[in-house]
Chain A
């Protein structure tokens, strides 16, 4: 059970280290840098990368651990939040107690260790969600906003940490698919990813409702640019899932054929923009801000019984009401954005902007 007092499980000297490292400056990388660096996976480069992570990861992890300890409205004392805090402290300790990385043997052990760290943190999102739910009762708007901003920072930071770790682990793959550098696909076709994600979303809709509206995708199928396909897949899946549900609910008891979801993939000089449009009846303007909040999740939380979910991936979790705000964080992570505009009584348009240049430095909240 997660203990309330920090000193009970973690030594004072460790706590002091956490404070020290949490005050140090974070260093961000851009997608382009990750791509360029990762395309030359020489032993020397892997060691340099490992040494960078050996210094950078504790800074980012310590920062979050400190914040977890000082949340308002008693959120820090909630059992679920204490659990997450302990994960962060354990990971900090693992990193700090790992010796200097001098050769490939060290590097391999280090890579193994950070892989385990990533697995340890797999269920952070639903666990935090549980903690926030425990808090919700009796909190006014101002308090909710503060917690909201904390969660945005916290989850954005988590995306960065997991990207750095995942990318490092993945570049060790001896037989990567063509054009793949770790998590990055140097020639990703957004249309292809959109097609795949749409099909997956249609499957979910078919399972749930027995039917699913059509999805039409327009764009240049030969256009490619460097990006992380899993990120894009997750975001498009989320948007299409929402659109399908809206249209299905609207036309379920109607004789009319449900209008198709329309996806447009546009490539510009600065951005690649993917628009997902539906005629699912839209959302009232007053209700729109709520769709990006973490606190209005009405979906069931799979971790109510503190069960062990194992290798739970983000896609499944996104289905539990956090999909839109977290999709937006993924979009912003590489310098993009997600905007949703609705026409009440008609339908909703979601615009996913992806920075084409890859020069954006990671946001470091």
Chain B
């Protein structure tokens, strides 16, 4: 069971270190840098990268551990939050107690260790969600959720930071792969076709819809199939999947009991100089303007939490977890991570348009909240 008091499980010396490292300046990298650095495979580069992570990861992790301890409304004392805090402290300790990286052997050991750290944190999102739910129960029901804005902003910072940490770790681990597919540099595809990823993600979303409703509206993708640019396909897949899933559900619910043919979802992929923009349009009836801000909150999730019984989910990945009501806010964080954005506009009584902007240049530095 997670201990309430920090000092019960962790020594004072460690806690002091956490505070010291949590105040140190974070260093961000750009997608372009990750790609260029990763394409020059040398042992020397791997050691340099490992040394960078050996210093950078504890800074980012300590920062979050400190924040987890000082959340408002008693959120920090909720059992689920304490659990997450302990994961962060364990990972900090693992990193700090790892010796200097001097050679290939050290580097390989380090890579293994950070991979385990990533696995340890796999279920952070649903666990935090549980903690937030535990908080909601104890709150005054008359409290307007708009007033819980500081928790909301904390979660945005927290999850954005998590995306960065997992990108850095995942990228480093993936670069060790001996036979990568062509044009792959770790998680990054140097020639990713957004039209192709959009088609794949749409098909996956249609499968989910078919399973749930027995039918699924068509999804038409328009754009230049030959156009490519460097990006992380898994990120894009996750975001498009989420948007198409929502559109399919809206259209299906609207036309379920109707004789009319369900209008197709339309996806447009546009390539500009600064941005690649992917628009997902549906005629699913839309959302009233007053209801729109809520779709980006973490506090209105009505979906079932898979961790209600503190069960062990093993290797839960982001895509599954996104299905539990956090999909839109977290998709937006992914979009913003590499300098893009996600905007949703709705026409009440007609349908909704979602605009995914992806920065084409790759020069955006990671946001470091």
Contact yes or no, B290 A270, CB < 8 A:
yes
Interface status of A327 (Cβ within 8 A of chain B): no
Q: Inside 8 A of B271's CB, which chain A residues have their CB?
A: 345
Given known A-B contacts A264-B347, A275-B347, A285-B357, A343 and B272 have beta carbons under 8 A apart: yes
Which chain B residues numbered 235 to 288 have a C-beta less than 8 Å away from chain A? 268, 270-275, 277, 279, 286, 288
Contact yes or no, B270 A346, CB < 8 A:
yes
A274 to chain B, nearest CB (A): 9
Interface status of A101 (Cβ within 8 A of chain B): no
Interface status of A337 (Cβ within 8 A of chain B): yes
Contact yes or no, A285 B274, CB < 8 A:
yes
Q: Inside 8 A of B346's CB, which chain A residues have their CB?
A: 273
A151 to chain B, nearest CB (A): 25
Q: How far apart are the CA atoms of A68 and B346 in the complex, in Å?
A: 38
Q: How far apart are the CA atoms of A344 and B346 in the complex, in Å?
A: 20
**Among the listed A270, A341, A345, A347, which residue makes an inter-chain contact with B288, where contact means beta carbons less than 8 Å apart?**
A270
Contact yes or no, B347 A343, CB < 8 A:
no
Interface status of B229 (Cβ within 8 A of chain A): no
Q: Inside 8 A of B306's CB, which chain A residues have their CB?
A: none
A323 to chain B, nearest CB (A): 20
Q: Inside 8 A of B290's CB, which chain A residues have their CB?
A: 270
**Among the listed B272, B277, B289, which residue makes an inter-chain contact with A353, where contact means beta carbons less than 8 Å apart?**
B289
Q: How far apart are the CA atoms of A337 and B290 in the complex, in Å?
A: 12
1/0 per residue, CB under 8 A from B, across A247-262: the answer is 0000000000000000
Q: How far apart are the CA atoms of A15 and B277 in the complex, in Å?
A: 55
Given known A-B contacts A264-B347, A351-B347, A344 and B273 have beta carbons under 8 A apart: yes
Interface status of B349 (Cβ within 8 A of chain A): yes
Given known A-B contacts A346-B270, A351-B345, A268 and B277 have beta carbons under 8 A apart: no
Q: How far apart are the CA atoms of A353 and B357 in the complex, in Å?
A: 23
**Among the listed A337, A342, A345, A349, which residue makes an inter-chain contact with B353, where contact means beta carbons less than 8 Å apart?**
A349
Q: How far apart are the CA atoms of A349 and B274 in the complex, in Å?
A: 18
Interface size class of B (residues with CB under 8 A): 20 to 34
Which of A266, A270, A284, A339 has the most B CB atoms < 10 Å from its CB? A266
Which chain A residues numbered 342 to 365 have a C-beta less than 8 Å away from chain B? 342-347, 349, 351, 353
A58 to chain B, nearest CB (A): 35
Interface status of B355 (Cβ within 8 A of chain A): yes
Contact yes or no, A271 B288, CB < 8 A:
yes
Interface status of A286 (Cβ within 8 A of chain B): yes
Contact yes or no, B343 A269, CB < 8 A:
no
B277 (CB) vs chain A CBs: closest residue: A343
Given known A-B contacts A284-B275, A341-B355, A343-B270, A266 and B348 have beta carbons under 8 A apart: yes
B239 to chain A, nearest CB (A): 16
B65 to chain A, nearest CB (A): 35
Number of A-B contacts (CB under 8 A): 78
Q: How far apart are the CA atoms of A342 and B277 in the complex, in Å?
A: 9
**Among the listed A266, A286, A344, A346, which residue makes an inter-chain contact with B349, where contact means beta carbons less than 8 Å apart?**
A266
Q: Inside 8 A of A284's CB, which chain B residues have their CB?
A: 272-275
Contact yes or no, A343 B288, CB < 8 A:
no
B9 to chain A, nearest CB (A): 47
Q: How far apart are the CA atoms of A308 and B244 in the complex, in Å?
A: 56
The prevalent SS among residues of B at the interface is strand
Interface status of B350 (Cβ within 8 A of chain A): yes
A354 to chain B, nearest CB (A): 10
Contact yes or no, A269 B288, CB < 8 A:
yes
Q: Inside 8 A of A270's CB, which chain B residues have their CB?
A: 288-290, 348
Interface status of A200 (Cβ within 8 A of chain B): no
Q: How far apart are the CA atoms of A270 and B346 in the complex, in Å?
A: 12
Contact yes or no, A264 B288, CB < 8 A:
no
Contact yes or no, A286 B286, CB < 8 A:
no
Contact yes or no, A343 B355, CB < 8 A:
yes
Contact yes or no, A343 B273, CB < 8 A:
no
Contact yes or no, A268 B349, CB < 8 A:
yes
Q: How far apart are the CA atoms of A31 and B43 in the complex, in Å?
A: 71
Interface status of A152 (Cβ within 8 A of chain B): no
1/0 per residue, CB under 8 A from A, across B304-327: the answer is 000000000000000000000000
Given known A-B contacts A264-B347, A266-B350, A346-B277, A271 and B270 have beta carbons under 8 A apart: no
Given known A-B contacts A269-B288, A271-B288, A337-B289, A344 and B275 have beta carbons under 8 A apart: yes
Q: How far apart are the CA atoms of A107 and B6 in the complex, in Å?
A: 76
Q: Inside 8 A of B286's CB, which chain A residues have their CB?
A: 266, 268, 273
Q: How far apart are the CA atoms of A285 and B276 in the complex, in Å?
A: 10
Interface status of A282 (Cβ within 8 A of chain B): yes
Q: Could you pull out 9 A-B pairs where Cβ atoms are within 8 angstroms?
A: A268-B288, A271-B348, A273-B286, A273-B347, A273-B349, A282-B277, A345-B277, A346-B270, A347-B270
Closest 8 CB pairs of A and B: A344-B272, A268-B348, A266-B350, A346-B270, A345-B272, A268-B349, A343-B277, A273-B347
New contact pairs (7) apart from A266-B347, A266-B351, A271-B348, CB-CB < 8 Å: A270-B290, A273-B346, A273-B350, A284-B272, A343-B279, A346-B277, A349-B353
